[in-house]
Amino acid sequence: MPRIVVDVMPKPEILDPQGKAIVGALPRLGFTSFSSVRQGKRFELTVDGEVTEEILAQARDAAETLLSNPVIEDVVNVEVVEA
Amino acid sequence: MTELPLIGDAPGDAAVASRLAGARIGVVTFPGTLDDRDAARAVRLAGGTAVELWHADTELGDVDAVVIPGGFSYGDYLRAGAIARFAPLMSRIIDAANSDAKLPVLGICNGFQILTESHLLPGSMIKNDHLKFMCRDQVLRVENSNTAWTLDYIAGQEITIPLKNQDGQYIADDKTLDALEAEGRVVFRYVGFNPNGSRRDIAGISNAAGNVVGLMPHPEHAVEVGFGPETVVSRETGIAGSDTDGLGFFTSVLNKIVGGAK
């Protein structure tokens, strides 16, 4: 079954409190090379059958209306992944 | 303790009480809503009639105003308020709020988050800057006493009501914030302590018409003597914190509906 992967990230200008907490925890475990972390979301939409242009357009629409909030987030990637 | 209307119950004012009771305030319940019963009780204590509304209803029915109460609709999955925004009843509420009739709508906490997701109010809420859930009695300043929900307050008045949230940090871009300030749409500001990192200490805002108001703290938890934020200190000093500081939200909208608004 093919899947459409949608990646959503907090907008660059928006402080990401969760990412900030993670970057604070990393050095305590010895991971000292990372100066910043931003946490986003990955959605996997499974399609029964072929992914047509129309279905892909629907996925982009869903990504902008439900999966992300354009006030605080950007849809950074929508792509088809074969299972 | 029986529920007595706190306004309109003076001797000889039966007609006023009856007019207030004729005002019907809908209270919406989503899966995961917590404060619907408290909100309905606040409506009744203010003298109005509370009407239960269910998220899956396709008609709004005969209501004069709507409260979207707090809680964790749909478990806050995806984003707080994001899934509730697409409930059938929300479409009716959005239409009624934007119509010429300008249905008064109050969103409290999760209800505020639902209103921003619905684009009835600008901006959004993200996780508290300190990442912790916070519960406290919070002092607010009423910045705008001309909205449907704040008519019974005086501009500049400080009130104390409970605050309890995890995703309470109000954010918007500077252009939006400047416009909100310029148009007097910052309705409430945190006083003394910003509990979540909200931009410009904003606790609540309104739409341009003033019929839609959203705020993070909970007025419905401060409507009854003996059960609000009053402390021994505040009782003795009269500063910061009576038990009924939240009741004015509900009397404001009732007075507006029955035509007694100042």
Output DSSP code: residue B71: B
Cα B245 off chain centre by: 12
Concerning whether B55 is annotated as a catalytic residue, the answer is no
Which CATH number covers residue B79?
3.40.50.880
Whether B1 is in a domain gets the answer no
Cα angle B118-B134-A20, degrees, rounded to a multiple of 5 = 80
Of B116, B131, B173, the CB nearest to A21: B131
Concerning whether B220 is annotated as a catalytic residue, the answer is yes
| Torsional sign, CA B223, B227, B228, B232 | positive
Whether B237 is in a domain gets the answer yes
Letter for the amino acid at A9? M
Select A3-81's CATH number: 3.40.50.620, 3.20.20.330, 3.30.1280.10, 3.40.50.150: 3.30.1280.10
pLDDT of residue B8: 46
Concerning whether B59 is annotated as a catalytic residue, the answer is no
Q: How far apart are CA B189 and CA B208, in angstroms?
A: 18
Q: Report helix, strand or coil for B21.
A: helix
Whether B183 is in a domain gets the answer yes
Q: How far apart are CA B260 and CA B262, in angstroms?
A: 6
Count of CB contacts below 8 A, A vs B?
34
CA distance A47 to chain B (A): 20
Q: How far apart are CA A34 and CA A50, in angstroms?
A: 40
CA distance A77 to chain B (A): 17
Angle of the B247-258 helix axis to the B36-45 helix axis, nearest 10: 60
Q: What are the tens digits of pLDDT across the range A22-61?
A: 999 999 999 999 999 999 999 999 999 999 999 999 999 9
Mean pLDDT of B237-262: 82
Q: Where are the domains of chain A?
A: 3-81
pLDDT of residue B16: 79
Scanning every residue of chain A, which has its alpha carbon at the shortest distance from the alpha carbon of B83?
Answer: A66
Letter for the amino acid at B112? F
Residues of B engaging A, defined by a Cβ cutoff of 8 Å: 78-79, 82-83, 86, 116-117, 122-124, 126-131, 169, 171-173
Whether B62 is in a domain gets the answer yes
pLDDT of residue B262: 42
Cα B200 off chain centre by: 19
Q: How far apart are CA A36 and CA B186, in angstroms?
A: 33
> Inter-chain contact B117–A69, Cβ cutoff 8 Å?
yes
Whether B63 is in a domain gets the answer yes
Domain that holds residue B198: 14-258
Q: Report helix, strand or coil for B95.
A: helix
Q: How far apart are CA A23 and CA B125, in angstroms?
A: 22
CA distance A71 to chain B (A): 6
Q: What are the tens digits of pLDDT across the range B48-57?
A: 999 999 999 9
Of A10, A17, A71, the CB nearest to B129: A17
Domain count, chain B: 1
Of A13, A21, A72, the CB nearest to B126: A72
Of A18, A67, A72, the CB nearest to B171: A72
CA distance A48 to chain B (A): 23
Residue burial B84-107, b: 16+ Cβ < 10 Å; e: rest: bbebebbebbbebbbeeeebbbbb
Considering only CB atoms, which chain B residues are within 8 Å of A67?
78
C-beta neighbour count of A42 within 10 angstroms: 9
Mean pLDDT of B61-84: 94
Give chain B's mean pLDDT: 91
> Inter-chain contact A21–B124, Cβ cutoff 8 Å?
no
Q: Which of B55, B109, B221, B230 is catalytic?
A: B109
Is B144:B187 a contact under the CB 8 Å cutoff? yes
Mean pLDDT of B202-224: 97
pLDDT of residue A18: 87
pLDDT of residue B1: 45
pLDDT of residue A13 exceeding 70, the answer is yes
Q: How far apart are CA B33 and CA B76, in angstroms?
A: 10
